[in-house]
Amino acid sequence: MPLRETEALVLRTYRLGEADKIVSLFTRRMGRLRAVASGASRPKSRYGSALEPMSYIRLWIFERENRDLLRINSAEIIESFFDMQKDYRQQVATQYVAEAAELFLPEREVNERAFRLILVVLRALKRTGEATRPLLYFNYWLLRLGGVLPDLESCGNCGRALGDEAGYYGEGSEQLLCANCRRAAPYQVRATTRGLERDFRGLSLDAWISAGPAAPECKELRRFLEEVVESHIGKKLVTRSLLAGDT
């Protein structure tokens, strides 16, 4: 059984029997996968806090052919995002990142840019306590790296440029529609909101946050991109409803 070393982010854990845990991980060198951590539910587990949700860890893992579940040999923490989750808003924002990543990223597909994206987003959440721009940036780049970011400048049905007009969407939308094509799409993304993309697409998240307070339109764009993420996943994100009242 070859033993492999990789960095990873812990997305979530599930109990397995009395003493063990199944750990859902996004690893740097092996992509997203699930692995068993023997004894991880015991009070004095040898993993310590390394398997807490969204811990950034180094782990050694046994790879066995023809088995879905791998086995964790050992893990050590590189950077913890545990303390910041004592704040409810940060906890929910962190859980949103974990839930969306787990459902959106394909299994066993190495994605270095997505790995770095999640780290950048977690660090910004931890450093600033702001959820709006880190989550907007996360949704935007998750969709863009996945090749499914909708065109924000033209109608997804007729192709007409939206210009100064609002774009519209409804539940399950993966595109914005113009006023002629919108039919029953009840939500709008105004032109000024779509213009936000020009503000941040060439910036690092840190540079964008350092440039000043979040524009009020950020929430409107984030909601649309959350809808698109959900549409591609094909199910509702539990954490999205918890974020709804958030700034």
Considering only 178, 196, 218, 228, the residue that binds Zn ion (CB under 5 A) is 178
Contact (CB, 8 A) for 39 and 20: yes
- Distance in Å, CB of 162 to Zn ion, minimum: 9
Considering only 3, 69, 110, 158, the residue that binds Zn ion (CB under 5 A) is 158
The vertex-216 CA angle with 98 and 122, nearest 5°, equals: 25
| Shorter beta-carbon distance to Zn ion: residue 6 or 154 | 154
| Whole-Å CA distances, 160 to 140, 148, 171 | 22, 19, 22
Which residue(s) pair with 25 in the sheet? 10, 33
In whole angstroms, what is the distance from residue 88 CA to residue 68 CA?
Answer: 34
185 touches Zn ion (CB under 5 A)? no
Q: Looking at 7-15, 59-67, 174-182, 206-214, which segment touches Zn ion (CB under 5 A)?
A: 174-182
- Distance in Å, CB of 190 to Zn ion, minimum: 16
Contacts of residue 134, defined as CB under 8 A and 6 or more positions apart, other chains included, come to 93, 121, 124, 125, 128, 205, 209
Bridge pairing between strands 3-16 and 56-62? antiparallel
- Distance in Å, CB of 142 to Zn ion, minimum: 26
Q: Is 226 helix (H, G, I), strand (E, B) or coil?
A: helix
110 touches Zn ion (CB under 5 A)? no
181 touches Zn ion (CB under 5 A)? yes
Considering only 157, 195, 197, 219, the residue that binds Zn ion (CB under 5 A) is 157
Q: Identify residues 126-155 at the interface with Zn ion (CB under 5 A).
A: 155
- Distance in Å, CB of 228 to Zn ion, minimum: 17
| Shorter beta-carbon distance to Zn ion: residue 133 or 182 | 182
In whole angstroms, what is the distance from residue 235 CA to residue 129 CA?
Answer: 28
- # residues contacting Zn ion (CB under 5 A): 5
Q: Is 117 helix (H, G, I), strand (E, B) or coil?
A: helix
CB atoms within 10 A of CB 16: 16
Which residue(s) pair with 5 in the sheet? 60
In whole angstroms, what is the distance from residue 239 CA to residue 244 CA?
Answer: 9
| Shorter beta-carbon distance to Zn ion: residue 158 or 203 | 158
* Structural element, H or E, at residue 229: helix 218-233
| Shorter beta-carbon distance to Zn ion: residue 23 or 176 | 176
| Shorter beta-carbon distance to Zn ion: residue 117 or 178 | 178
| Shorter beta-carbon distance to Zn ion: residue 1 or 158 | 158
176 touches Zn ion (CB under 5 A)? no
Interacting residue ranges for Zn ion, rule: CB under 5 A: 155, 157-158, 178, 181
